[in-house]
Structure formats: structure tokens, C-alpha cells
Structure 1
């Protein structure tokens, strides 16, 4: 699998340059359900306004170019790897039997780094989870170094 020169982070915030929505989070707080879009939508002020009073990353899965640097708490520059992707694959359970259709897969950092294992866990990932369980808290904590090589 060839990694593109510019990959996308599938767990970005709405206010980063070139942010785009690739999925909508529905369901309930305890049992979220992610619906993947056939194509991405740019994050616009109107889209952000529609999510009020909650943050866009509580309602949408947002992708943006991976910054691949220490500016991101999850990126391990020496290994050139996203530690959040590593921890998600190691710690989160598989929640689907086949990868969902995904508009960003070809550019997704997690896909290029972890392959189908990341996709089988992706539907449960919430960038801004208002009530994460202990496992997801641990996987999302940038201070968690359980992915150390």
C-alpha cells in the first residue's frame, strides 16, 4: 500500500485549514452510530452554525491534512506514525465486520498506517466524545504511551 504524500487525519477539529466532514454521528450518547458520507463536505461557517450549541466534532467526523509533527499531540515524529491510530487498533474492539464505505480512505493516515484494522474500529471513534468509556479515554489520551515500540 503506497502512502500518499499528504494524508488526512480522520479525527480533526472543524477549525483547522481544509477541514472536511466525512461522516455524521447519530445514535445516542451511550450508543453512537456513525453514517459515512459518499463524498466529503467542506466545513463552512453555515455547517458549524448548524451544530450549535454543541461543537461540530460532537456531530461530525472531520478530516483535515495530517500535520505530521509535534504540533499534534498524537504524532510520533521519530516513527512518523499516529499514536492515536496505533492505540485505537490495539485497544478498541472491532465494531464492524467489513470496512464501511468511506470518502477519505484513499488519503486517510490511519488506513495507510494501520490498514483495515483501523477501519473496523473507526465507527466508534468520536473526536469529541462527551461521555467516553474508560477504554476510549485511555486510547485518546496523548499521555498514554502504551503504543511505544
Structure 2
């Protein structure tokens, strides 16, 4: 993670585990109907060993990963802002009563763009969620500008 701090990269907290320079910053817990992310004290690099530990499910079902924001290469980026972060804040209810202990907050695009409101909703965001509510599915669909 030190290289991110040195480069001052803005991190996407909803990156795919296979993204270049991705790190795990949370582990999915909770229940099938109400999954919640438990945040790691320090982000961990994605390794083949870590991916193997996820088997037989996808790493994105149990890990929240961050990677440098893809900006114009991302379907959620409108040229200036992350529309996914905007929809999460607009449409999802908060699930945390206080700021989660997130190790990527300083560099997180959602934090930089939406502040505390994004953090209060972040623990319910699971990248590969095959039991997502209709609302979560709607929020995740990219909007056309």
C-alpha cells in the first residue's frame, strides 16, 4: 500500500480483484440477506495464494478490493465524478452508525467525492453479490450520461 500513498493515487473502493495493483481492504461477513464488510487494519496485496483461499467462490464475493481509479476507462465515471458513489449515497440507506475503520479512506474516490455519506453506506456494497436486493442491483447499473 505504500506505493499508493507515495503516488497519491485515488483508489476505487469497488475495484475487481483482478485489477492492476488491487488490494484487499475488507472481508465480507454478515448474513446472506445482509452482508457487511469488515475492514482490515492494513490493505493486503492480491496474491495467487489469497485468490486460492477464496475458492470455490469468486474473490469478489468475499473480499472488497480497491485499485487505482480507472477514471475514463470506467463505466461509472462521467469525466469528473464516480456516478456509482453518487447513486450509492442517493439511493441506499446508511448501514453504519459511525465512520467504519477504513484503511483506504484517505485515498478513496468515494470519500473524496461524497464524504461521510458514502462511508456510512459502504459496508453493504459487495462486488459479486448473487443475492442482492432489487435496489442494490439498480444502484450498480451504470447510468448513461
Asked if these proteins are the same fold (TM beyond 0.5), I'd say yes
Matches of 2:24 and 2:69, distance apart in 1: 15
**4+ runs deviating over 2 angstroms:** none
Q: Does structure 2 conserve the Cα–Cα contact (< 8 Å) formed by 1:29 and 1:130?
A: no
Matches of 1:89 and 1:122, distance apart in 2: 9
Q: Partner of 1:76: helix, strand, or coil?
A: coil
Q: Does 1:75 align with 2:77?
A: yes
Matches of 1:113 and 1:103, distance apart in 2: 17
Unpaired runs of at least 5, structure 2: 1-6
Q: Does 1:40 align with 2:21?
A: no
After TM superposition, the structure 1 stretch with the greater mean CA deviation from structure 2, 107-116 or 126-135, is: 126-135
Matches of 1:38 and 1:130, distance apart in 2: 27
Number of aligned residues: 139
1:18: Cα distance to partner?
0.5
Q: Does 1:136 align with 2:139?
A: no
TM-score by length of 2: 0.92
Higher helix fraction: Structure 1 or Structure 2?
A: 2
Unpaired runs of at least 5, structure 1: none
